[in-house]
Amino acid sequence: MRVYLDNAATTPLDPEVFQTMEPFMREFYGNPSSTHSHGREVRTAIEQARKTVAELLNASPSEIFFTSGGTEADNTAICGALKTQGMKHAITSRIEHHAVLHTLEVLESKGEVSLSFVETDDKGRVNLDHLMHLLKENDRSLVSLMHANNEIGNLLDLKKATQITHEFNGLMHSDTVQAMAHYPHDVKDLGTDYLIGAAHKFHGPKGVGFLYIKKESKINPFVHGGGQERNMRGGTENVYGIVGLAKALEIAYRDMEKHRVYIQGLKNRMIAKLRESISEVNFNGLSDQNESLYTVLNVCLPDTGANDLLLFNMDLQGVSASGGSACNSGALKGSHVLEALGTPKGRAAIRFSFSKFNTEEEVDYAVQVLENAMSPSNAHSK
């Protein structure tokens, strides 16, 4: 049996999405910047996709910009907001995705911004009182806090964090890659200035994402070289990717509650079976609680003395999982998120992440394989 439980890294393409994309790989190949009929029909598809995404987020189409993915969208929002708005201070946490952390750290190293870190506790909860304190001390700051953590699944009260930020004349950016399409994002209700999505996290194609920019919080272009995306991002558009993104988001919103109930059931099943099968098992962050993304479970295992072999042995038995973010190479390489939480270094951490395509049988098999991989005979094998 082959079991894929690394959906926080990427998800399989939905067949319905592929069917929508296929004509734009074969029949509709015009350059959307061309004025002839071949170009116009493709331009129409892009603008329809933009309208679809905007309607789902309760935004205006003019506030949606397509990118190559979440990392570019984060970079665009952060660099663009700081420069365009003349901001010299940013606030983030130490458990953000590297698309945010590394971007801000580079800007700080260049002397373009000073950086403050909001406190998090040993479960990864963001201290919103400390956020308020930092904003009081640093008026007009850019705040960047993710909605759902990609390693431990912790959920942020994004609306409250945005309200606090705006109270002190700041701007709010949120990396919403992991939460997008799993929860509704009504941008008018949230009030957030910038949020993002990446299609491959919700059964769309790789290499395409989007950035929402609130019209009152405009930024200057980050990628130059052409007039595409209303002069905001140069380069010929990834047409079939954009069409696929919109369809994948549409499907996710259409079936959101049904999939939430189903996937939460898979996660609960794994929690129960792990507790039955493995003594001293624990869970990092809030990943086993309701304050966590229902697609992510970060498992803290007893010290087997051979932590680096666990994922390898599981992979040999057909189970794909990860030790953390897909952007950190190495099976059980140290996680900056777990380090910030103070997780004991001698214990292995495995992130299982689920999708609508997983089954109960796959969950049961994965637990069995993990239990076998932790047995003394396998733990010390070479």
What CATH number is associated with residue 41? Answer: 3.40.640.10
Q: Identify whether 379 is part of a domain.
A: no
The total domain count for the chain is 2
Residues 200 and 120 in one domain: yes
Q: Identify whether 380 is part of a domain.
A: no
Q: Identify whether 378 is part of a domain.
A: no
Q: What's the CA dihedral at 223, 224, 227, 231 to 10 degrees?
A: 60
Residues 184 and 318 in one domain: no
pLDDT by 10s per residue, the chain, length 382: 999 999 999 999 999 999 999 999 999 999 999 999 999 999 999 999 999 999 999 999 999 999 999 999 999 999 999 999 999 999 999 999 999 999 999 999 999 999 999 999 999 999 999 999 999 999 899 999 999 999 999 999 999 999 999 999 999 999 999 999 999 999 999 999 999 999 999 999 999 999 999 999 999 998 999 899 999 999 999 999 999 999 999 999 999 999 999 999 999 999 999 999 998 899 999 999 999 999 999 999 987 655 567 899 999 999 999 986 544 444 345 789 999 998 877 788 999 999 999 999 999 999 999 999 887 555 444 3
Residues 62 and 79 in one domain: yes
Tens-digit pLDDT profile for residues 37-65: 999 999 999 999 999 999 999 999 999 99
Residues 109 and 56 in one domain: yes
pLDDT at 328: 44
Residues 273 and 135 in one domain: no
Q: Identify whether 36 is part of a domain.
A: yes
What's phi and psi for 312, nearest 5 deg?
-65, -45
> CB 13: neighbour CB atoms within 10 A?
17
Any idea what the CATH number is for the domain that residue 360 is in?
A: 3.90.1150.10
The distance of Cα 228 from the centroid of its chain, to the nearest Å, equals 25
Active site residue 327: yes
Tens-digit pLDDT profile for residues 25-41: 999 999 999 999 999 99
Among 240, 244, 234, 242, residue whose Cα is nearest residue 76: 234
* Region for 320 from its dihedrals, namely left if φ exceeds 0, alpha if ψ lies in -120 to 50, beta otherwise: beta
Q: Identify whether 190 is part of a domain.
A: yes
Q: Helix 307-316 crosses helix 360-373 at what angle (to 10 degrees)? A: 130
Residue 172 to residue 65: CA distance in whole angstroms? 17
Q: Identify whether 78 is part of a domain.
A: yes
Which residue, of 201, 223, 254, is where some domain finishes?
A: 254
Residues 249 and 259 in one domain: no
Quote the tokens at residue 91. 């606030």
Q: Which residue has 């000073």 as its token pair?
A: 114
Task: Yes or no: say if 78 and 55 are a contact pair by the CB < 8 Å rule.
Answer: no
Task: Yes or no: say if 200 and 170 are a contact pair by the CB < 8 Å rule.
Answer: no
Which residue, of 221, 254, 287, is where some domain finishes?
A: 254
Residue 285 to residue 124: CA distance in whole angstroms? 5
Residues 244 and 354 in one domain: no
Coil, strand, or helix at residue 268?
helix
Residues 31 and 129 in one domain: yes
Residues 45 and 148 in one domain: yes
Residues 49 and 176 in one domain: yes
The distance of Cα 25 from the centroid of its chain, to the nearest Å, equals 27
Q: Identify whether 382 is part of a domain.
A: no
Any residues with CB less than 8 A from the CB of 24 and at least 6 apart, and which? 42, 45, 239, 240, 243
- The residue annotated as part of the active site, out of 327, 361, 372, 376, is 327
Residues 280 and 217 in one domain: no
Q: Which residue has 């458990």 as its token pair?
A: 95
pTM score of the predicted model? 0.94
Which residue, of 254, 272, 288, is where some domain finishes?
A: 254
Residues 292 and 176 in one domain: no
| Mean model confidence pLDDT for the chain | 93
Domain that holds residue 171: 15-254
Q: Identify whether 65 is part of a domain.
A: yes
pLDDT at 69: 98
